[in-house]
Structure 1
């Protein structure tokens, strides 16, 4: 049994309708048909793995919510009929519904045959259960387990259906009592609040518009710069955060030759990551974004070991139109050494003892900037192969099931690498997202990048 972190609880509140709903998704493609027994074996391993858990609320005020094993799962979801290339993303986008991290199940494994004879597999989970690296760790553990005992897959699956996993089989760490946890939480909160008051007696305890990050993070900049003279464009200016009635989602998946991407980055004086950030900013400007400065939020993986959790922090940088991958490299390097912080220096644990709506008000908009640049990095070798099937394409991304509340973020990108291929998963959350394909082409052309369909 584990305690939820502050970040876990922020994503739990989005599941409850307070904020933008987020589910994470891994996608795999194989050039041949995948056997139903193999998919069922993977499903069985995931069910007794670390995604097989749910949130339990405490009985003692101030104690944190905890994770408990949960072997209930959505059945393996196999689409009827083969999908055409243009139907893959609409199919995958619809897989985030009915995920419940509290009552379970909070994840789903799905598969579909493709018109070219191949298979696409999707693992989708509530962001409350895991972040992108956590989701990758979960599927990696399942695939490695499958590889080591593939001949016994059907037998193990049948046993898993009948015998629920015991707590001591899945969770080796002991948990203090709820009373002890509550005392620890309140001690931290009172001590941290007293220090904040001592340092900032002249400021209100709760600012009228706080910017509390979900990730122990830092905010040193002032309000986002607003241009006094918008960049001329023939396109309709993008909608403001207050007016989201005409905003909609536009997801895309692109691939890039990794050697060419890396060489391009070096030629421009940057790194693969700074080239990614540069590309994301320029795509947004090409869609008609009017401001001369774009603020990017950059997730930071804070793991010291592989585990299925929301183990991340956020930082940010400002990007000007004159910036290059070289200048962004230096700015990003400095940004990764700091984090956005809670308002008035209050301890972040306060979000775990306040009522949900109060906690949501304090953390509303946490980590949201104009663009999100999530560099997931190299994917492990284990995801290259599913049983006897080699994966030709793998992608990791976020989706927004049943979205009604749109964030400040206009464009989100998730970059990952497998072998000699970078995959860029994009989602536009702007009013004029129909311009996205054209904006990508123009932004890539400025640096010489050559995108291909996923």
Structure 2
């Protein structure tokens, strides 16, 4: 264990001629987003999960099978720990017919049941090595935990709802907040060999500020999108199929 804690194997440099992860941020009118969610029997968060699943199912790696989402779920061990930051990821299998019929009612019920079934930190997929006690997992460095995780044998989509951004976030930065968070949360310069060693094809973040919803997307496998423009086009088509029309779209390495 000591060797694992203090040793570091450097990651190989990505091939500059090869594929890189692709980034896109779409913004929407928050009132339109919430109205569309209510119309189809869900909440703003349920609609977010549906859009992510609908986009993920365009990935050829999961052709003809239900897309699986792994939302981040916050776990508070004690009722008097409002500042606790423990969370896990819960697998949600989204049936394609729910997406075809815009059935947010069923998706919401299934999601709530999955969240309710999680009782300990690290009990979800992608969160805990098998037979690793949560108490031990919590004290290990992130780099060590990452080496202990086992590869999930399916391609999944990762999604995190950041909620309403704090007032201290400057308005000119708010729409980029999920993208800035995203840049800290994923491997930068990921190339094809690395994508084959991890299960996530699509990572997304959602946030709200100033009457606007910000949907940040990161394609982590080339099968999901070869270019940022391709990812943006797919996301725009999916959004429009749910009655949503992006007000702005940023692609690639656009900075505030």
Mark yes or no: TM-score above 0.5: yes
Deviations 1:249-280 (A, max 9, x none): 11001101000000000000111111101101
Aligned length: 211
CA distance in 2, matches of 1:381, 1:357: 32
Answering whether residue 44 of structure 2 is matched by residue 272 of structure 1, we say yes
State yes or no: 1:295 paired with 2:49: no
1:370 alignment counterpart = 156
User: Relative contact order (C-alpha < 8 Å, sep 6+): which is higher?
Assistant: 2
Structure 1: tracts of 5 or more residues without a match? 1-9, 20-244
Note the C-alpha offset of 1:345: 4.6
Contact 1:287 1:439 in 2 (8 A): no
Partner of 1:257: 29
Matched, 1:383 2:158: no
Residues 134-149 of structure 1 aligned to structure 2 (within 5 Å): none
Matched, 1:422 2:217: no
Query: What is the CA–CA distance in structure 1 between the aligned matches of 2:141 and 2:75, rounded to whole Å?
Result: 27
**Cα distance, 1:357–1:444 mapped onto 2, change above 3 Å:** closer
Partner Cα separation in structure 2 for residue 441 and residue 266 of structure 1: 20
Secondary structure of 2:90's partner? strand
Q: Secondary structure at the match of 2:245?
A: coil
The TM-score, its normalising length taken from structure 2, stands at 0.69
Structure 2 residue aligned with 1:401: 188
Q: Could you tell me how far apart the structure 1 residues matched to 2:205 and 2:63 are?
A: 23
Distance 1:380 1:301 in 2: 18
Task: Please name the residue that 1:338 is paired with.
Answer: 117
Q: In structure 2, the residue corresponding to 1:382 is in which secondary structure?
A: coil
SS of the residue corresponding to residue 373 of structure 1 reads strand
State the secondary structure of the residue aligned to 1:448: coil
CA separation in 1, counterparts of 2:96 and 2:21? 25
Cα distance in 2 between the residues matched to 1:422 and 1:286: 23
Does structure 1 conserve the Cα–Cα contact (< 8 Å) formed by 2:129 and 2:149?
no
Question: Secondary structure at the residue paired with 1:296?
Answer: strand
Distance 1:17 1:453, change over 3 A: farther
Relative distance call for 1:363 and 1:271 in structure 2 (3 A) is same
Aligned residue for 2:200, secondary structure, equals: coil
Contact 2:164–2:209 under 8 Å retained in 1: yes
CA distance in 2, matches of 1:374, 1:438: 21
- Cα distance change on mapping 1:356 and 1:251 into 2, 3 Å: closer
How far is 1:281 from its partner? 1.1
Give 1:314 deviation, angstroms: 1.6
Per-residue deviation, residues 188-215 of structure 1 (Å, max 9, x unmatched)? xxxxxxxxxxxxxxxxxxxxxxxxxxxx
* TM-score, with length taken from structure 1: 0.41
Aligned-pair Cα RMSD in Å: 3.6
Instruction: Tell me: CA distance 1:256–1:361, structure 2 relative to 1, closer, same or farther (3 Å).
Output: same
Cα distance in 1 between the residues matched to 2:137 and 2:174: 43
In our comparison, the structure showing a higher alpha carbon Rg is 1
In structure 2, relative to structure 1, the CA distance for the partners of 1:358 and 1:412 (3 Å cut) is closer
Q: Structure 1: how far apart are the matches of 2:155 and 2:70?
A: 6
Distance in 1 (alpha carbons) for counterparts of 2:111 and 2:167: 28
